[in-house]
């Protein structure tokens, strides 16, 4: 892998780490605002089976929020440090796919105002995690000592 390719992979991974850590940090100390957002997205979701699952999960929104926040934080830290980045990319892809399906395919206020922005915001997160997953060589920000 050339130096330029390594720098691109490292930059991509660190950028996606920042993405996950930023959005996880929004819920580290205050998760109350998530309930209204999630309930509205679940009730307005028009994907047949997926929407039904979301509506069932609204009763346990706080447990779901804590789980997603912990996973987003773990993915961000794993990307940042370079520990198991492909496993982190699988988890990040799963989270991004769920966010994309939840918030991009619902009859909600934010989709009526600017559906393209909502769609591409979550879809780009999905694609960036897939791009990291695709990379076989993941450069580390921590240098390995030579013996």
Of residues 134 and 74, the one with the higher pLDDT is 74
Rounded Cα distance between 67 and 24, Å, is: 11
pLDDT, residue 139, reads: 61
For the entire predicted model, the pTM comes to 0.85
Q: Pinpoint the alpha helices (H) of 82-138.
A: 85-103, 109-113, 115-134
Contacts of 45 (CB under 8 A, 6+ apart): 51, 54, 55, 101, 102, 105, 106
**Phi/psi of residue 45, nearest 5 degrees:** -70, 130
Sign of the Cα pseudo-torsion (35, 67, 63, 107, in order): positive
Summarised one tens digit per residue, pLDDT across range 79-107 is 999 888 999 999 999 999 999 998 888 88
Q: Which residues pair with 45 in a beta bridge?
A: 106
């Amino acid at each position: 892998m050339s130096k330029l390719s390594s720098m691109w992979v490292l930059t991509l991974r660190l950028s996606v780490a920042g993405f996950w850590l930023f959005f996880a940090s929004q819920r580290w100390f205050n998760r109350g605002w998530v309930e209204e957002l999630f309930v509205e997205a679940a009730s307005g979701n028009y994907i047949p089976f997926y929407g039904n699952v979301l509506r069932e999960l609204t009763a346990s929104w706080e447990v779901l929020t804590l789980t997603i926040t912990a996973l987003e934080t773990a993915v961000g830290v794993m990307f940042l440090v370079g520990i198991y980045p492909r496993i982190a990319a699988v988890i990040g892809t799963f989270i991004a796919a769920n966010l994309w399906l939840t918030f991009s395919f619902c009859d909600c206020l934010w989709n009526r105002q600017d559906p393209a922005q909502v769609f591409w915001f979550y879809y780009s997160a999905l694609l960036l995690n897939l791009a990291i997953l695709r990379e076989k060589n993941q450069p580390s920000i921590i240098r390995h000592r030579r013996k």
